[in-house]
Structure 1
Amino acid sequence: MNQQLIKTTIKQDFLRDFSDIKLYVIISSNLVKKPVLTTLEDVIQGGADIVQLREKTMPDSTFLTLAKEFKKITFQSKTLFIVNDRAEIAKKADADGLHIGQSDINISAARKIIGYSKIVGISTHTIVQAREAQREGADYISVGPIFYTGTKDYEPPVGLDYLKQVKREITIPFVAIGGINLENINDILNAGGSCLAICSAIICSDTIVQTTRSFKTQLIQYSLSLKSKHL
């Protein structure tokens, strides 16, 4: 199988099997307690389905070196690897996709850089932004921050009502994000968020593998309970 076909298959599998993707972990080297690559290995061991490398201030050359290491580890474990914000880094590291914010480059420009076989996601904070992302061809959106988060303390929480609105109206995959922890996870699940993006609650934990596994277990159990209700 040639490389282009492999890349296209990754995206097709992502879109087709998104209901099986539960846990999306965001890793930033300025937040981790352990070495960043050890943190990556731990979250994968704990059951992360997607890993995003988010480095807002790291120089490009350092970021690229780290991204290439992430690619090696995630490729071996068959974990999807997303780069935040920097399309050129995503391309050079051969990441599976790119995640952009509302103030970053647009979806069309991102695809021209990283290629049309790659996954492109975008952050949304309002239903207008979610509708626009869907129209412009985003592969997925993030919805949030649902609750207050120190990771993005400049963005006010959007609350559960926006998540419910996305669940009702948006047809592309979506990921709930922002201040989610093991205490409020059920609120997210009950509002319709079946795929969660977690950062601090996992990577700042003293027991990353166990904490990741706890999130994943709850997500799987909730999914199974929904399926049993429809039998």
Structure 2
Amino acid sequence: MEPSTWRTYLVTQASRSGDRDTVAVVRAALAGGVDAVQLREKGTDARHRYRLGRELRELTADADVPLIVNDRVDIAAAIDADGVHLGQSDLPIDVARDQLGSEAIIGCSTSTTAEAKRAVAEGADYLGVGAVYATDSKDVPEEESGIGPERIRAIASAVDLPIVGIGGIGEGNAAAVIQAGATGVAVISAITAAADPAAATRRLGEVVADAR
């Protein structure tokens, strides 16, 4: 499944999943029709992420849904993930491409038009743009937090790559992100903390589809 078709993109984080484990959350999200899954799990060691990644690789492969690994090119290679998502301080895109191969899906986090243009020039396959709304799921510099749909619109006008909006997005504000030019939305708590993650995934996908 190509990034241009993604509507809902789950970013995993056990600390945001209540009393459910990540495997259970991903299984439910897949049942709800999620289009991509990113193995994140900040605050855990590489061995834990590797073991978890192997389990998620089986689930996502069976569902024909791409599995992306946050930051760690080595873990992506070790679990045969479909790709990696890189931040501004991670390995360069071309290095990740050399390690993972030409078919790997490589995303890049951006919050400015300049960063987006650089990611395009370096060969990214999609952009994660945010934090669109204020979020406490990660430490984000003030100038990169709450950039709003307007920044999505500016970046979408400047580059020709699929854009996934991220940061504080849920059912209530996802439509504005899509209408500004994003292809889909990436979420953590909107799915992981939902009473029914499968239903939450389904509803979010419907919101995005309607906004498109």
TM range (shorter): over 0.9
Q: Does the residue aligned with 1:181 lie in a helix, a strand or coil? A: coil
1:85 and 2:71 correspond: yes
Residue matched to 2:16: 31
Distance 1:70 1:176 in 2: 23
Worse overlay, 113-122 or 79-88: 113-122
Residue matched to 1:21: 6
1:136 and 2:122 correspond: yes
1:147 and 2:133 correspond: yes
Residue matched to 1:7: none
Match of 2:47 among 43, 61, 79: 61
Q: Does the residue aligned with 2:31 lie in a helix, a strand or coil? A: helix
* Higher radius of gyration, 1 or 2: 1
Distance 1:188 1:117 in 2: 28
Worse overlay, 190-199 or 95-104: 190-199
Q: Does the residue aligned with 1:30 lie in a helix, a strand or coil? A: helix
Residue matched to 2:81: 95
Distance 1:189 1:119 in 2: 21
1:207 and 2:207 correspond: no
The CA deviation string for residues 169-213 of structure 1, in whole angstroms up to 9 with x for no partner, is: 210111111111111122212212231111111111111111111
1:192 and 2:177 correspond: no
Residue matched to 1:122: 108
How many pairs does the alignment contain?
208
Q: Pick the structure with more helix per residue.
A: 1
Distance 1:161 1:217 in 2: 22
Residue matched to 1:158: 147
Distance 2:156 2:140 in 1: 25
Cα separation, partners in 2 of 1:43 and 1:14, compared to 1, 3 Å: same
Provide the alpha-carbon RMSD of the alignment. Answer: 1.3
CA contact (8 A) 2:162 2:182 kept: no
Alpha-carbon distance, 1:52 to partner:
0.4
Alpha-carbon distance, 1:116 to partner:
2.0
* Structure 1 unmatched runs, 5+: 1-12, 224-231
* Structure 2 unmatched runs, 5+: none
Match of 2:32 among 15, 28, 46: 46
Alpha-carbon distance, 1:104 to partner:
0.9
Paired letter, 2:12: I
Residue matched to 2:93: 107
Could you tell me the percent identity over the aligned residues? Answer: 32
Alpha-carbon distance, 1:59 to partner:
1.5
Moved over 6 A (4+): none
Paired letter, 1:31: R
Distance 2:183 2:123 in 1: 21
Alpha-carbon distance, 1:31 to partner:
1.6
Alpha-carbon distance, 1:153 to partner:
4.1
Distance 1:153 1:100 in 2: 16
Distance 1:28 1:114 in 2: 24
Distance 2:43 2:99 in 1: 21
